[in-house]
């Protein structure tokens, strides 16, 4: 009953690169902040 399934890190994470996800989230956050700033300047 103590049979463990062992997968390589690539298969376990399905080949995803967490670093890329971090950069995408950071760029998205920066763009949202810039867009809100532009919207604020236009509305004032």
Range of the domain at 33: 14-43
Per the structure block, which two tokens stand in for 8? 């390589």
Per the structure block, which two tokens stand in for 43? 């509305």
Distances from the Cα of 44 to the Cα of 30, 35, 40, 41, angstroms: 21, 14, 6, 5
Residue 30 domain-assigned?
A: yes
Residue 7 domain-assigned?
A: no
Residue 1 domain-assigned?
A: no
Write the pLDDT tens digit of every residue in 1-44.
567 778 776 676 665 666 788 899 999 999 999 999 999 999 98
Residue 3 domain-assigned?
A: no
Kindly report the pTM of this predicted structure: 0.56
Q: How many domains does the chain have?
A: 1
């Amino acid at each position: 009953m103590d049979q463990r399934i062992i997968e390589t890190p690539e298969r376990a994470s399905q080949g995803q690169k967490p670093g890329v996800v971090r950069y995408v989230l950071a760029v998205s956050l920066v763009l949202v902040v810039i867009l809100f700033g532009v919207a604020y300047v236009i509305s004032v």
